[in-house]
Structure 1
């Protein structure tokens, strides 16, 4: 049985990757299912990557036996994240493309959108296309936790527009992020969306 996003949410604190690493490592050690243990270990690798311990994170992934689609996707996804975080976006893209494709074929929508969202970051030249694919995939679900991806997708698009001084487009994207945060997001995401809207409106002032 694959681990759930709710289980991951309970243990992840992205502001504390070291603490998250310990909690995830404990969870991996407590499960008796080999596939579940491998999934937990992919998250240990992610936490290590957030601490910039890239070699150690890769070693964790090297030790895994991806016997299920979920594990295969997560290994590819985390390797892609590691490459991108280490500054090698070119190496990240094919890994993330494979992750998105396998996830789509296996019906793993949450992971498919995660991979597409990462592709929009790593392959910035094609970010609109990757984001459009993610939005199209999300249109097929009514799961609130999966729909939370809309917040990040619109937010990332907004900052891309903002950095290119396309402030009207940025404002529209941030307002979409705010709407998604109101419906499916966290209080922190709602605050960030409001701050982005305020900053963009200030940039639009003559």
Structure 2
């Protein structure tokens, strides 16, 4: 069963989302609906994990595990497995995450839940090497394209993006570009403005890696204009790509201010601090 609290998700602001979920917790406890309560707890754990609060997230999931009856509440069980895996993965323990995603996939398939099967497949792609990841993502794409479930079909935008990045990591920039364009088309068709913005950025990055810096610069400049015109929050990744395009076009002095702006924003990103030290150092150096 799908509950209304899922509509409260704001993945860009997990702390706010956690607070919104916590406000529902007393109601969930009083509802005499264990399935609602358990599913809500799994999403509280996810919000905690996205805040890098991994111990808290595992503790919340431990509470779910104590109360969980898989036969009675299979969706809660699937979500428990998915979120346990996500917390392990986000904390840098992909090998420990993988079995949970495999179990989530198995249970989703056994219970005919296409939506969470697609979720499990896409998470398996995230925790495996590019060649294997591609196969998991393609399975998820096939499922999303063939499913009669409208929620499952909504995975298409994310899957086009994820498969594009898998090809990107394999240095197959032509295929990556093709998938990013599909992602852009899908998100524009469904009026997903934030996702379309990201897809345009991805298209631009893939163009730059194909040594088409002029075309890439046009795309990133358009995104910068959109940020300014719509009073959007500044995006460090756009600044980074603007800088890289200008550097590739032998315009280092113009690039410098964008490298500096990118560093100013991206150096505050917790994940980048832990996983992309060299990248941040390069931004700082080229921006100074």
Aligned to 1:20: 17
User: 83, 94, 105: which one pairs with 1:100?
Assistant: 105
Which is bigger in relative contact order (C-alpha 8 A, separation at least 6)? 1
Decide whether the 8 Å contact of 1:174 with 1:197 is kept in 2. yes
Superposed CA offset, 1:69-109 (max 9, x none) = 10110111000001100101001111101001101211221
Superposed CA offset, 1:149-192 (max 9, x none) = 11111212212222332111111111121222133462111111
Q: Distance in 2 between matches of 1:183 and 1:37?
A: 35
Paired residues, number: 203
Q: For structure 2, list consecutive stretches of 5 or more residues without a partner in the other structure.
A: 213-288
Aligned to 1:190: 196
Q: For structure 1, list consecutive stretches of 5 or more residues without a partner in the other structure.
A: none
Larger Rg: 2
Decide whether the 8 Å contact of 2:114 with 2:149 is kept in 1. no
Q: Distance in 1 between matches of 2:107 and 2:170?
A: 33
Q: Give structure 1 regions of 4+ aligned residues with deviation exceeding 6 angstroms.
A: none
User: 86, 90, 110: which one pairs with 2:91?
Assistant: 86
TM-score, L = length of structure 2:
0.66
Which range is displaced more, 129-138 or 41-50? 129-138
Q: Distance in 2 between matches of 1:130 and 1:171?
A: 20
The structural deviation recorded for 1:27 is 2.1
Aligned to 1:151: 157
The structural deviation recorded for 1:195 is 1.6
